[in-house]
Amino acid sequence: MAKKSNPEERLIQTAGRLFYHQGYNSTGINQVLEEAKVAKASLYKHFGSKEKLGLVYLQKARVEWFNGLDKATAKEEKALQKVLACFDFLEKNMKETNYLGCKFINMLSELAEAESEMREQIIAHKARLRSYIGDLVREACIQKHNPKGEVLADTVYLLFEGAIVESKIVKDTWPIEAARNSVKFLIGS
């Protein structure tokens, strides 16, 4: 017989699924508790509030995202191929989630407070992603003898982010494919 996950983990998994599929504001704590089969006391013992549960969801999503991105880029040797692998990873992710988009952008669009721990977590995630992609782009430009690495680092990051949003809107991968092709053109293939 399979071991049942602990209440804390069930709360995180259930809340994460609901926050992503129906939205943070549309997900009530009672629905999370009911679907996780956890008592309200467990929620307050482990998290204290819905916002803290949302924060843990974002932290876990951040770790999972970068683990997946690292795995996708590790298969490639050259920096340009690593950059393109980021777009391949994004395309795979969008298809697997039926174009639900970025967990972080989705959550940000629902936050009422200008400053909150969740907002800070989202900003930290996007800053790390910008740095991650930027480092790969700068290295690719060095390898391709392209002197525009600094400028292209942010350009490619913005292409990546724009591809996320447009793919969610049109529920298709063409924006990711177009962004990937633009990267090849900008850096040099």
Token output for 9:
């983990």
Instruction: Tell me how far apart the alpha carbons of residues 23 and 16 are, in angstroms, rounded to a whole number.
Output: 10
pTM of the model: 0.92
Q: Exposure of 101 by Cβ count < 10 A (0-12 exposed, 13-18 middle, 19+ buried)? A: buried
What pLDDT, in 10s, does the model give residues 146-171?
999 999 999 999 999 999 999 999 99
- In the chain, pLDDT over 70 holds for what percent of residues? 96
Greatest extent of the chain over all pairs of C-alpha atoms, in Å: 60
Q: For residue 171, how many other CB atoms are within 10 A of its CB?
A: 11
Instruction: Tell me how far apart the alpha carbons of residues 48 and 28 are, in angstroms, rounded to a whole number.
Output: 15
Domains identified in the chain and CATH numbers: 1-48 (1.10.10.60), 54-187 (1.10.357.10)
Instruction: Quote the pLDDT of residue 3.
Output: 47
CA distances from 187 to 75, 83, 134, 145 (A): 20, 10, 12, 9
- In the chain, pLDDT over 90 holds for what percent of residues? 93
CA distances from 92 to 82, 155, 158 (A): 15, 22, 19
What pLDDT, in 10s, does the model give residues 106-133?
999 999 876 689 999 999 999 999 999 9
